[in-house]
Structure 1
Amino acid sequence: MARTVDPARHEHRRLVIVDAALTVFAAHGFDGATTATICRRAGIGSGTLFHYFPTKLSILLGILEYGTREVRESAARWDGRQDSLGVLLEIVARSADEAADPRMPGFVHATAGVMHLPEVAAALEVDAGAQRACLRPWVERGQAAGEIRTDLEPARIVAWLMLFMDGYLERVALEPGFTAAGEKNLLIATAKEFLVPR
């Protein structure tokens, strides 16, 4: 008789591995990270690791997949809200909070080192698509309500918001004096200044 799988336990184990791998990739880069180090960090054996993720690359893709899933699931958080500008600024603030994870600069470097791989490029594009899908309805609602500028098409406004958030993360990752905590309020103020009607 086949063994039944407890979905909650399975998901918890995946999350433990993903969290450990995020830490290891951040500390050692993609090339410097080893599955043995990830196993030690997660407190599991290699057989367990390879049951969930057959390769080191699949672990990195799993981390990116979780990030995309969080973007999609977060969209439900704002259901019923009427203040589009407030929602958009909360999305920007949330991206700043995620950039404050001390592992994020190292993970950005690790991911950048393998962006040329088709699987990584595809995963990053899926994530960008999820972000666009999260932002665009709020831009459109905000324009209809007069809260958001209408001199630019929604897609262009979304592209600029993503540029603010992605550029902010890049600066946090690359510039030692540019900290997530120190620059968050300016990021939000800049996004607000950009979004409000002229």
Structure 2
Amino acid sequence: MDAALTCFAATGYVGTSTAAICREAGIGSGTFFHYFPTKQSLLLAILAHGTEETRAWFAARADDADPLAVVEAYVDHTAEEMSEPRLAGFVRAVGAVMGEPEVEAAFALDSQVLQEGLEPWVARAQEAGQVRGDRSARDLTAWLMVVLDGFLGRLAVDADFTADAQRATLLDVVRRLLAPEARS
């Protein structure tokens, strides 16, 4: 999967052959096809792996006491993952196959897992008075996801916009989005 990520990032989905992935991984095509019947099945495995990592990240925080800290830690964690040098190219590669039903389903599941991971923490932060209460936890979570998706999209199209350089600003935007209403 790591070799495929490297190849997809460098030459795009269409420009990457299974032979190139095998060369990068140092394996034979028989080994490749034993695990992945198609190049798309490998792409789907990469996407599923990311979804499972998100699920595991939130599961590991089940006992954390500060809900806002969990939300902010997830944003920081995401920015750290987005600083992976191959990510922008991989996002562009995946964009080439977004119309494929199985790819769309993988993204829908990833979005659902993120919503289910973030929303309870946002709700707890609301209950604790840590974040604004004028919007539902579901709406605030949706907006968090919009911000993160937009951040990722910008990384994919602008080489001068890097996760490392923009990390603090991303967290600032999230904090401003979630900030409780000013009380008079």
The two structures have a TM-score, normalised by structure 2, of 0.96
Task: Count residues with an aligned counterpart.
Answer: 181
1:192 corresponds to: 175
Residue deviations 1:23-75 (CA, integer Å, cap 9, x gap): 00000101000101101111111111111100001011011000000000111
Partner of 2:146: 163
Is the CA contact (8 Å cut-off) linking 1:85 and 1:195 kept in structure 2?
no
Cα offset, 1:152, TM superposition: 0.2
Paired with 1:75 and 1:95, the residues of 2 have a C-alpha distance of 12
Structure 1 segment 96-107 matched on structure 2, within 5 A: 96-107=79-90
Query: Match for 2:129 among 146, 157, 165?
Result: 146
What pairs with 1:35-46 in structure 2 (closer than 5 Å)? 35-46=18-29
2:43 aligns to what? 60
Structure with greater helix share of residues: 1
Work out the CA distance in 1 between the residues paired with 2:47 and 2:18.
17
Question: Which amino acid is the alignment partner of residue 97 of structure 2?
Answer: V
Moved over 2 A (4+): none
Which residue in 2 is equivalent to 1:4? none
Cα separation, 1, equivalents of 2:133 and 2:23: 53
CA deviations 1:98-138 (Å, max 9, x no partner) are 11011001000000010001010010000000100110110
Task: Structure 2 unaligned segments of length 5 or more: list them.
Answer: none
Amino acid at match of 1:134: G
Is 1:24 matched with 2:7? Answer: yes
Which residue identity lines up with residue 174 of structure 1 in the other structure?
Answer: V
Shift of 1:174: 0.5
Which of 152, 155, 162 is the equivalent residue of 1:179?
162
**Paired AA for residue 150 in structure 2:** G
The amino acid across from 1:88 in the alignment is V
Q: What SS does the aligned partner of 1:82 have?
A: coil
Q: Alignment RMSD, CA only?
A: 0.8
Task: Give a deviation string over 1:117-171, Cα, whole Å, max 9, x none.
Answer: 1010010000000100110110111111111111001111011100111110111
Q: Percent identity?
A: 46
Task: Show structure 1 runs of 5+ residues with no match.
Answer: 1-17
Letter in 1 for 2:25: A
Code of the residue aligned with 1:101 in structure 2: it is: E
CA distance in 1, matches of 2:37, 2:79: 32
Matches within 5 A, 1:71-110: 71-110=54-93
> How far does residue 86 in structure 1 lie from its aligned partner after superposition?
0.8
- 1:81 Cα offset (Å): 1.2
SS at match of 2:30: helix
Distance 1:80 1:68 in 2: 21
Task: Kindly indicate whether the alpha-carbon contact (under 8 Å) linking 1:39 and 1:45 is maintained by their aligned counterparts in 2.
Answer: yes
Residue identity matched to 1:83: D
Q: Hey, what's the Cα distance between the residues in 2 that align with 1:74 and 1:120?
A: 22
Alignment TM-score, normalising by the size of structure 1: 0.90
